[in-house]
């Protein structure tokens, strides 16, 4: 009885008593949700266009951020470094398409998944070889990212908003908006959607699959760079950052592998659910529930909708 | 010359459907087993401790995952956690009942991880493909959290780590600080051979055919009268059983003590590498994969400095480590491009070629 009270009543009473804390938790959840969504977006882009479940997205985030910071530390001006980092991601996309995707075309999904594992290992080794394994500081000042906090009086308490978090949310939203426009309005975007629908049909109307793959991997690389800057600004640039890529997976299955709005909504649900769960229910079981709560939330959603919230309906035929 | 089919006639179905239809194969497998036992007396303790014991342990775990992923087609990323369940169950059992021989508990601990595996396998009826893989990640992270947060699992000891107490078999210590690598190797080898034989019988029998039918197309299998839920759960249970036993062996007969960190997500990926590189749906592939993925980094660690030094390049240990990562990654991609069906397929092709040698067909 006592346990039931603690699980079902007490947290809600606490929420009602201290609405400012609730708002604070919600805000933090939303911000991390947006950032999860940003990583999940990279996965979705590649999965949509090539059917590859790109495990290397996490290390691409780290690699992009490391390239940026590494170049800056070598004395390259910040904006030149940013452009160079984008170019590096372009080169990476071309190399991946040439060396990994092209020879493996038409292989089962799991083999391609495995190949991105190989890519992950390679990039870990390569990144550490060039930039060293030590954690680095993200160059927030040089990139004109705001710092500091704003405190607002709200509902009888103070709610703190980190400027960096606000910037992250804004930039992520702009990024997502740009991608949406790119996908629906441009020629290449339409070609991408055609490839996502059917490789064969796309080939038959003259769309080059190889070109499209380079473009999506490049787009995913840019998304990785943005995600890397944002995460890096919050928690430093190091190889442990690739763990957050695993956090993007529940976001991904929650929203469905093929849906960009799904990635965003999924990210917000996971981000908010995780923070609320950790803050209000975590202490009941000794804390640290953040490591698995996201997966359990996703699992519960999946039991009702096996294709995710916005995924294409799975039709099976014999 | 020696490897010929000629003259070996099959007179009944049993002989025709044998796992090793060729006499040479049967002799070969016998020789390998004898050689494996002989190695215990010929090999030095470094070879046994650092190469052979882990190789066998990882082979067993790969067989477990191969049953699930290779034979039944259910992608799982929770292998590490299921291994952990076996290890923790074994620890609880052998400290609670020290009178019973530890070998019994190693086998029994597998049943605990089988139960947990079947529980986390329940969503597999509705969720498929990569969605299921992420669902098994829930098992991985949840169980790992349990290992950290529930001190009861390690008998409330302060360090929070598992340690191997002294246990004997026929008066010889096989576990704990006094056990020699030789005796531990023999125990591991016997368990692995026994379980491999069992797995081979499972996958070649009715149950194995059911798994394969589910893998190839679960809808069609269901129409043919195979119950998907039971079959999938059985695959999860058997797979987790093997992983659980492998986990118990890993902690108590190889490391001799470990923390929860051994069973992290990287361990799961590591085993998945072995299964895919070795060959999905092949028991011998599990051994090949374990050998390649486990032994390759060790060999590279020794070979790389030797290869670089003639060019006057002397590099630090960290650079070697990074190069090792790069080479392992590149080799994984290379193997997948050259032979996506894994080393087991190469082995098969090699045997076919040998049968008709020196002619091409």
The pair phi, psi for residue A157, each rounded to 5°, is -160, 180
**pLDDT tens-place string over residues B148-199:** 888 787 777 777 777 777 777 777 777 777 778 888 888 899 999 999 999 9
Rg (CA), chain A: 21
Nearest to B127 among A114, A129, A306 (CB): A306
CB atoms within 10 A of CB A94: 15
Contact B217 A318 (CB under 8 A): yes
Six token digits for residue A314: 């799975």
Query: B1: pLDDT confidence band, cut at 50, 70 and 90?
Result: low
Instruction: Mark yes or no for CB contact A122/B318 under 8 Å.
Output: no
- Evaluate the CA torsion angle B152, B153, B154, B158 in order and state its sign: negative
DSSP code of B68?
Answer: I
pLDDT digit string, tens, across residues B197-243:
999 999 988 999 999 999 888 889 889 999 988 899 999 999 999 99
Beta-bridge partner residues of A152: A159
The pLDDT score that the predictor gives to residue B37 is 87
**CB-based burial, A223-242: b 16+ in 10 Å, e otherwise:** bbbbbbbbbbbbeebebebb
In a domain? residue A6: yes
CA distance A231 to A213: 26
Q: What pLDDT score was predicted for residue A142?
A: 67
pLDDT of A30 strictly over 90: no
Q: Which residue has the tokens 């079947």?
A: B118
According to the model, what pLDDT value does residue A317 have? 74
Render pLDDT for B305-343 as a digit per residue (tens, 0 to 9).
777 777 666 666 777 777 878 888 888 888 888 887 888
Q: Minimal Cα–Cα distance from A6 to chain B, Å?
A: 19
Question: Closest-CA residue in chain A for B141?
Answer: A292
For A129, the closest of B126, B323, B328 (CB atoms) is B323
Q: Count the alpha carbons within 13 Å of B360 in the hemisphere toward its beta carbon.
A: 0
CA B18 to chain centre: 24
What is the pLDDT at residue A238?
75
Please tell me the predicted confidence (pLDDT) of residue A164. Answer: 78
What is the dihedral sign for C-alpha B179, B181, B183, B188?
positive
Q: What are phi and psi of A306, to 5 degrees?
A: -65, -20
* Mean pLDDT value across residues B284-296: 87
Tokens of residue B304, six digits: 């790389």
In a domain, A316, yes or no: no
Of B299, B251, B242, B298, the closest CA to residue B271 belongs to: B242
Do the Cβ atoms of B84 and B244 come closer than 8 Å?
A: no
Domain extent, residue A38, equals: 2-304
pLDDT for B63 equals: 93
Q: Which residues contact A60 (CB under 8 A, 6 or more apart)?
A: A42, A89, A92, A123, A220, A221, A224
CA angle B141-B142-B148, nearest 5°?
90
What is residue A71's predicted lDDT score, i.e. its pLDDT? Answer: 84
Strands B167-169 and A149-154: unpaired
**Does pLDDT of B105 surpass 80?**
yes
User: What is d(CA B280, CA B74) in angstroms, rounded to the nearest whole number?
Assistant: 11
Residues A155-164 have a mean pLDDT of 71
Domain B25-356 has CATH 1.10.287: no
User: B151 is written with which tokens?
Assistant: 């001190």
A interface mutation test: which of B145, B279, B319 has the most A CBs within 10 A?
A: B145
Domain ranges of chain B: 25-356
- Cross-chain Cβ contact B134/A250 below 8 Å: yes
Q: What are B138's two structure tokens?
A: 């829930």
Q: Could you tell me how many CB contacts below 8 A there are between chain A and chain B?
A: 141
The whole model's pTM is what? 0.86
Q: Which residue of B has its CA nearest to A129?
A: B322
Comparing B270 with B4, the larger pLDDT belongs to B270
Per residue in A87-109, pLDDT tens? 988 999 999 888 888 888 777 77
Residue of chain B minimizing CA distance to A311: B131
DSSP 3-state of B12: coil
pLDDT 10s digits, A67-91: 888 888 887 787 888 888 899 889 9
Which two structure tokens, joined as six digits, stand for A130? Answer: 């060039």
- Does A31 fall in a domain? yes
| DSSP 3-state of B167 | strand
Verify whether the Cβ–Cβ distance B145 to A308 is below 8 Å.
no
Q: Is the dihedral of CA A212, A217, A218, A223 positive or negative?
A: positive
3-state SS class at B357: coil
Tokens for B139, please give them. 């098992």
pLDDT band at B245 (very low <50, low <70, confident <90, very high): very high
pLDDT number for residue B25: 82
Q: How confident is the model at residue A155 (pLDDT cuts 50, 70, 90)?
A: low
- In this prediction, residue A1 carries a pLDDT of 67
Which chain B residues are within 8 Å of A104, Cβ to Cβ? 336-337, 340
CATH number at residue A105: 1.10.3470
**Cα B328 to Cα B303: distance, rounded to the nearest angstrom:** 13
Which of A253, A288, A317 lies closest to B131 in CB terms? A253
For a pLDDT cut of 90, what percent of chain B falls above it?
A: 19
Query: Which DSSP string do the residues of A106-167 spell out, in sequence order?
Result: T--HHHHHHHHHHHHHHHHHHHHHHH-SS-B---TTTTT---SEEEEEETTEEEEEEHHHHH
Q: Please state whether the peptide bond connecting residue A106 to the residue before it is cis, i.e. omega within 30 degrees of 0.
A: no
- How many residues make up chain A in this entry? 318
- Please give the full DSSP string across chain A, using - where no structure is assigned: -HHHHHHHTHHHHHHHH-HHHHHHHHHHHHHHHHHHHHHHHHHHHHHHHH----TTHHHHHHHHHHHHHHHHHTT--HHHHHHHHHHHHHHHHHHHIIIIITTTTT--HHHHHHHHHHHHHHHHHHHHHHH-SS-B---TTTTT---SEEEEEETTEEEEEEHHHHHHHHHHHHHHHHHHHHHHHSHHHHHHHHHHH-HHHHHHTT--HHHHHHHHHHHHHHHHHHHHHHHHHHH-B-GGGGHHHHHHHHHHHHH-TT-HHHHHHHHHHHHHHHHHIIIIIGGGGTS-THHHHHHHHHHHHHHH-TT-SSSPPP----
Query: Under an 8 A CB cutoff, do A314 and B128 touch?
Result: yes
């Amino acid at each position: 009885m006592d346990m039931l009270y603690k699980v079902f009543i007490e947290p809600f009473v606490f929420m009602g008593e201290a609405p400012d804390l609730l708002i604070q938790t919600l805000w933090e959840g939303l911000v991390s949700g947006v950032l999860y969504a940003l990583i999940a977006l990279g996965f979705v882009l590649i999965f949509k266009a090539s059917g590859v479940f790109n495990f290397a997205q996490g290390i691409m985030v780290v690699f992009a951020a490391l390239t940026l910071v590494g170049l800056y530390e070598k004395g390259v001006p910040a904006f030149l470094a940013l452009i160079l980092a984008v170019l590096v991601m372009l080169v990476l996309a071309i190399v991946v398409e040439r060396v990994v995707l092209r020879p493996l075309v038409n292989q089962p999904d799991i083999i391609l998944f495995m190949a991105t594992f190989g890519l992950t290992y390679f990039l870990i080794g390569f990144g550490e070889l060039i930039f060293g394994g030590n954690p680095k500081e993200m160059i927030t000042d040089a990139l004109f990212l705001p710092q500091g906090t704003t405190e607002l009086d709200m509902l009888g308490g103070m709610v703190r908003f980190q400027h960096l978090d606000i910037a992250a949310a804004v930039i992520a939203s702009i990024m997502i908006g740009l991608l949406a426009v790119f996908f629906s309005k441009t020629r290449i975007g339409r070609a991408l959607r055609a490839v996502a629908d059917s490789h064969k049909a796309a080939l038959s109307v003259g769309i080059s699959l190889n070109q499209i793959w380079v473009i999506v991997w490049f787009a995913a690389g840019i998304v990785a760079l943005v995600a890397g800057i944002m995460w890096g600004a919050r928690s430093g640039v190091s190889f442990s950052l690739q763990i957050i890529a695993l956090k993007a997976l529940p976001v991904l299955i929650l929203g469905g592998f093929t849906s960009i709005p799904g990635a965003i909504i999924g990210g917000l649900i996971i981000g908010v659910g995780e923070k609320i769960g950790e803050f209000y229910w975590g202490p009941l079981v000794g804390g640290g529930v953040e490591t698995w709560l996201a997966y359990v939330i996703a699992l519960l959603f999946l039991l009702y909708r096996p294709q995710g919230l916005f995924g294409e309906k799975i039709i099976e035929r014999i | 010359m020696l490897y010929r089919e000629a003259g070996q006639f099959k007179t009944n179905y049993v002989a025709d459907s044998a796992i090793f239809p060729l006499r040479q194969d049967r002799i070969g497998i016998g020789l390998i087993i004898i050689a494996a036992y002989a190695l215990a007396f010929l090999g030095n303790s470094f070879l046994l401790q650092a190469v052979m014991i882990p190789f066998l342990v990882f082979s067993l775990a790969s067989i477990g995952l191969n049953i699930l992923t290779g034979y039944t087609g259910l992608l799982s990323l929770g292998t590490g956690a299921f291994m952990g369940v076996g290890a923790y169950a074994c620890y609880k059992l052998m400290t609670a009942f020290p009178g019973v021989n530890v070998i019994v508990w190693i086998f029994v601990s597998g049943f605990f991880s089988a139960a947990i595996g079947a529980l986390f396998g329940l969503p597999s009826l509705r969720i498929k493909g990569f969605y299921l893989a992420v669902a098994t990640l829930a098992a991985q992270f949840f169980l790992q959290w349990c290992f950290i947060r529930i001190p009861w699992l390690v008998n409330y000891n302060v360090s929070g780590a598992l340690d191997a107490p002294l246990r004997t078999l026929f008066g010889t210590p096989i576990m704990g600080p006094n056990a020699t690598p030789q005796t531990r190797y023999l125990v591991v080898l016997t368990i692995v051979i026994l379980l491999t034989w069992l797995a081979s019988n499972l996958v070649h029998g009715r149950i194995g055919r059911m798994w394969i039918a589910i893998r190839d197309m679960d809808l069609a299998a269901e129409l043919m009268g195979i119950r998907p839920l039971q079959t999938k759960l059985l695959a999860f249970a058997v797979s987790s059983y093997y992983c659980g036993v492998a986990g118990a062996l890993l902690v108590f007969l190889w490391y001799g003590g470990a923390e929860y960190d051994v069973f992290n997500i990287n361990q799961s990926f590591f085993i998945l590498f072995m299964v895919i590189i070795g060959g999905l749906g092949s028991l011998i592939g599990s051994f090949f994969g374990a050998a390649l993925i486990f032994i390759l980094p060790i060999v590279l660690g020794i070979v790389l400095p030797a290869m670089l030094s003639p060019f006057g390049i002397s590099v630090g240990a960290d650079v070697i480590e990074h190069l090792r990562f790069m080479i392992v990654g590149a080799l994984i991609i290379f193997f997948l491009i050259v032979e996506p069906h894994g080393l087991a397929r190469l082995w098969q092709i090699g045997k076919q070629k040998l049968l008709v040698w020196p002619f091409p067909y």
